[in-house]
Amino acid sequence: METTLIILKPDAVQRGLIGRIIGRFEEKGLQVVGLKLMRISPDLAARHYESHQGKPFYDGLVKFMTSSPVVVMALRGVGAIAICRKLMGATFGSNAEPGTIRGDFGVSNSFNLVHGSDASESAARELELFFGAGEIQELDRAIEGWVYDISSGEPE
């Protein structure tokens, strides 16, 4: 099982897409093990996007991410990072395939609705930034045997 960070960005929150986007992840079979509505501070945005500091879009990105509340989620599942990235679609809504979150709900190349960790290392770092001790839950779901083949004792 892998845990990843997903952020529903200000445009997703302002457009009233929270439930529809969370539903996409849950319908796929991923577990929501952490969830909160919050306002990202400029300091937190700077730490989260530190790898982009100095790039032409950095200031606008920080301004956008701090402009309105966001929803942060910890999602868990086998291959959760890759699954979430496929569900989100291409970075720019205008390029994203129909059936993906960005492809179905986005057209902007600036406002792309959702952020997802891109690797296990970044997921660990990002989850620590947004969730404190005890905020990510261990969850035994009765449906796991219907989401994964667990006949070997481990989810496939």
| 48 labelled catalytic | no
Report d(CA 73, CA 92) in Å as an integer.
21
Asked whether 74 and 81 are in contact (CB, 8 A), the reply is no
> Tell me, what DSSP letter sits at residue 105?
H
Report d(CA 33, CA 82) in Å as an integer.
17
* 18-28 and 80-88 helices, crossing angle to 10°: 130
Reported residue count of the chain is 156
Strands ordered across the beta sheet of 2-8 = 31-38, 70-77, 2-8, 114-116
Which of these is catalytic: 48, 76, 102, 115?
Answer: 115
- Degrees, nearest 5: CA angle 14-104-141: 80
Active-site positions? 115
